[in-house]
Amino acid sequence: MYSYIDGFLIYLQTEKNASRHTIKSYQNDLFEGLSFFSGTLKKDDYTIQPGDVNTILFRSYLALMRQKQMSAATIARRMSAWRSFFKYLCREGVIEDNPLHRISIPKRDRKLPSFLTENEVKKLVESPNTEQILGCRDLAVLETLYGTGIRVGELVGSNTGDVDVKKALLRVTGKGNRERIVPLGTYAVDALNAYLQLARPVLLNKSAACPDALFLNNKGGRLTDRGVRWLLKRYSLRMEFNKKTNPHAFRHSYATHMLDNGADLRAVQDLLGHARLSTTQIYTHLSKERIRRIYEKSHPRA
């Protein structure tokens, strides 16, 4: 089975252009299931063949996960990984029938994402001390995150050649190595200009390890997603926010505020880099919930 899994992961990388994180997630889910099959069949995992795994075995695996009270999202993800794997095996002619075709995968719980209000975002971006080198950088990070809605991985993976402050554009590489161009707002452009002219040269002098990286850490290396999360946490604690303040909350805030102010859903989908419109539609539910709360709070007979 391991050789077939290796082939599947290579297929995801070369033909599906899947990201490193996606491939790792598939690998973990498949190995987890293989461990269960090994124990149930009382066989060494390396001796198990695709034909050994049938619908009954998958139903037992599904029952075990439910017994362990795993979330619907985790169960759905693991079963989806196996369904995709067996679909690949059918395509390759290894097996004739996908045993997961006859099993209903539980629907994922669609939780409304956490987001910041416009006033909360304003307080956060006004908190860095721009007279300090790192404060100047932090403001550029915050304004870029909120001004573009990009993922934290896209932010820290950006290089200086990806940004055009004159045209107010940023080129980012998203999931599946898909590139897109996102516009930069005036606040983000001003913050980036100040950072590139005043702060980045000072940080770059500390190390020549990452000369192309757009955002640098205090040692001159490329800023990591952990570094971005840490600075957001630090500023949110200073503001005493009682909600999650992480890079993805900024992304949620960007999308929610865009839709609240009349942006087209398709345009927001393109800006966020979502492959499916259904992924973006969760923000319309978020806006509806907000409208409902405003109505219930404001109307005398709500």
Regarding whether 57 and 145 lie in a shared domain, the answer is: no
Q: How many CB atoms lie within 10 A of CB 248?
A: 15
Choice among 146, 195, 235, 283 that is catalytic: 283
Beta bridge partner(s), residue 171: 181
Output the domain CATH number for residue 68.
1.10.150.130
Catalytic annotation present for 283 = yes
Q: Phi and psi for 163 in degrees, rounded to 5?
A: -110, 135
Q: Name the active-site residue from 26, 88, 137, 151.
A: 151
Same-domain check for residues 197 and 135: yes
Q: How many domains, the chain?
A: 2
Which of 102, 137, 155 is the endpoint of a domain?
102
d(CA 123, CA 235): 9
Q: Is residue 109 part of a domain?
A: no
Encode pLDDT of 246-301 as tens digits. Answer: 888 888 888 888 888 888 888 888 888 887 777 777 777 666 666 666 667 766 76
Q: For 82-105, what is each residue's pLDDT tens digit?
A: 999 999 999 999 998 888 888 877
Strand partners for 164: 169
Residues of the chain with pLDDT under 50: none
Question: Does 39 share its domain with 182?
Answer: no
Measured distance CA(158)–CA(170) in Å, rounded: 9
pLDDT at 289: 62
Among 78, 251, 252, 257, the active-site one is 251
Residues 14 and 95 placed together within one structural domain of the fold: yes
Whether 108 is in a domain gets the answer no
8 with 74, same domain: the answer is yes
Name the domain boundary from 102, 135, 162.
102
Q: How much is the pLDDT for 248?
A: 84
Structure tokens at 104: 């209903």
Residues 25, 59 within the same domain: yes
Q: In degrees, to the nearest 5, what angle opens at C-alpha 178 toward C-alphas 208 and 227?
A: 40
**Can you give the pLDDT at residue 73?**
84
Q: Which of 77, 108, 274, 290 is catalytic?
A: 274
Our answer to whether residue 252 is catalytic in this structure is no
Q: What is the span of the domain harbouring residue 9?
A: 2-102
pTM: 0.68
Quick one: 40 and 153 in the same domain? no
Instruction: Provide the pLDDT for residue 219.
Output: 92
pLDDT at 231: 92
Q: Are 255 and 268 in contact (CB under 8 A)?
A: yes
**Catalytic entry in 77, 175, 229, 290:** 175
The answer to whether 151 is a known catalytic residue is yes
Query: Is residue 17 in a domain?
Result: yes
Enumerate residues 6+ apart whose C-beta is below 8 A from 222: 156, 209, 210, 213, 215, 216
Same-domain status, 135 and 266 = yes
181 strand-pairing partners: 171
Please indicate whether residue 295 is annotated as part of the active site. no
Query: In 10 A of CB 215, how many CB atoms?
Result: 26
Based on the fold, state whether residues 153 and 77 are members of the same structural domain. no
155 and 21, same structural domain? Answer: no
